[in-house]
Amino acid sequence: MSDQDDLSAWGDALAEQAEAEAAAEDDPWGAALNEQAEAEAAATKSSLDALSESRGSGGEKVDLDVLLDIPVTLQLEIGRTKVSIRNLLSYTQGSVIEMDRLAGEPLDLLVNGTLIAHGEVVVINDKFGVRLTDVISPQDRIKKLK
């Protein structure tokens, strides 16, 4: 089996898994999870295709499973503010802290401290989630690292 066939089979397997999970769940999260899984499968397939093309004819086998299993930290940032220690110590239950963002402005999704996307809070069946509204391109992320 060629590398291209391996990549295609991987993408097909992810799509099949997403469909099975969506069929098993009969709640509003099912549709959102199915949509997310399809987007992830497409993104993974395109990333794997790009990696396959960039390897050239070196013949080296890249073990992507090692990379795909690395844990990362996701953070959602609603805003920031600076306060003095005096004010911080005066906060009590019910205190309101003003942030630097307006209501309705998108949240920042950070992965290991790097901005990856913007999104909005959603509530489905009393559970919070985040709908991504804008994903930062890999080229823009690399530019910010420099």
The DSSP annotation for 111-139 comes to ETTEEEEEEEEEEETTEEEEEEEEEPPHH
Q: Give dist(CA 125, CA 38) in Å, integer.
A: 22
* pLDDT tens figures, 15-25: 777 676 655 55
Q: Give dist(CA 48, CA 3) in Å, integer.
A: 10
Q: Determine the average pLDDT of the residues in 90-106.
A: 89
Q: Does domain 71-146 have CATH number 3.40.50.1370?
A: no
**Residue 17: per-residue pLDDT:** 72
Let me know how many helices (H) and strands (E) the chain has, helices first.
5, 4
**Residue 13: per-residue pLDDT:** 72
Identify the band that residue 95 occupies on the pLDDT scale cut at 50, 70 and 90.
Answer: very high
**Spatial contact of 27 and 62, defined as CB atoms under 8 Å apart:** no
Q: Is the pLDDT of residue 105 over 70?
A: yes
Instruction: Tell the residue number behind the tokens 């509003």, with chain if given.
Output: 28
For the chain, the average pLDDT equals 78
Q: Which residue has the higher pLDDT, 73 or 42?
A: 73
* pLDDT tens figures, 40-68: 767 666 666 665 665 555 556 667 777 88
Q: Is the pLDDT of residue 29 over 90?
A: no
Q: Hey, where are the domains in the chain?
A: 1-68, 71-146
pTM of the full structure: 0.50
Q: Give dist(CA 73, CA 128) in Å, integer.
A: 18
**Residue 30: per-residue pLDDT:** 66
Q: Give dist(CA 20, CA 22) in Å, integer.
A: 5
User: What is the DSSP code (8-state) at residue 94?
Assistant: T
